[in-house]
Structure 1
């Protein structure tokens, strides 16, 4: 019988979804820290505030999904339509972070 070699849906959720949610939490946390601790000079104040607000909102959505996942004994999945905006926002935050690091290297603080 081949069923032993095929992972169950619950095993897939645990091996794929659980680390994915943790990754989203990690990257949103890093982005939030950057946006709260630095003035990103190549963004307008409104753009930085908007990005921070979106990070906070998505961070809360990920936390809620993680709580539901845990509360259902790791048996509840997440609609992939929910994952796409999270992924897009993480990618946007990565771009801002990379550009910010590059900007800081090109413009070191003057003492």
Structure 2
């Protein structure tokens, strides 16, 4: 955990900046995964919908980062914004795990 003696704005910046970086990393990986693979356990529409939600979250993240940077870390994010992002990342993680699980089962059968 961060230093509890940090002023409020520095504490916010020390917590929020790495979180935004993490979301950027996982949205980028998820987008790449969804754009380069066909998932047998999802319909094309379901996969397109998930990809669309990842792209929308990337745009929201880009806007949040611009505000955060423009205010030198003085702006926080509401949990109402973060929770859907977390849900999307979790949904993508589950899809990747299932993809690799099914891929592993197919390789075992061959």
Q: TM-score normalized by structure 1?
A: 0.89
Matching residue of 2:18: 19
Distance 1:19 1:86 in 2: 15
Partner of 1:94: 93
Instruction: State the match for 2:83 in structure 1.
Output: 84
Distance 2:89 2:8 in 1: 26
Give the structure with the higher percent helix.
2
1:28 aligns with 2:27: yes
Deviation, structure 1 residue 5: 5.3
Provide the secondary structure at the position in 2 that maps to 1:40: coil
**Mapped partners of 1:43, 1:21: distance in 2:** 28
**Structure 1 residues 36-45 or 4-13, which shifts more?**
4-13
Alignment root-mean-square deviation, CA:
1.4
Q: Which residue pairs with 1:63 in the alignment?
A: 62
In 1, the alpha carbon distance for the partners of 2:25 and 2:86 equals 12
1:10-58 CA-to-partner distances (Å, cap 9, x unmatched) read 1122111000011011001100000000001110000000000000000
Q: Which runs of 4+ in 1 moved over 2 A?
A: 4-7
CA gap 1:5/1:81 in 2 versus in 1, 3 angstroms: closer
Partner SS for 1:94: helix
- Structure 2: unaligned runs, 5 residues or longer: none
Quote the residue 2:37 is aligned against: 38
CA distance in 2: counterparts of 1:54 and 1:93, whole angstroms: 10
Taking structure 2 as the reference length, the TM-score comes to 0.90
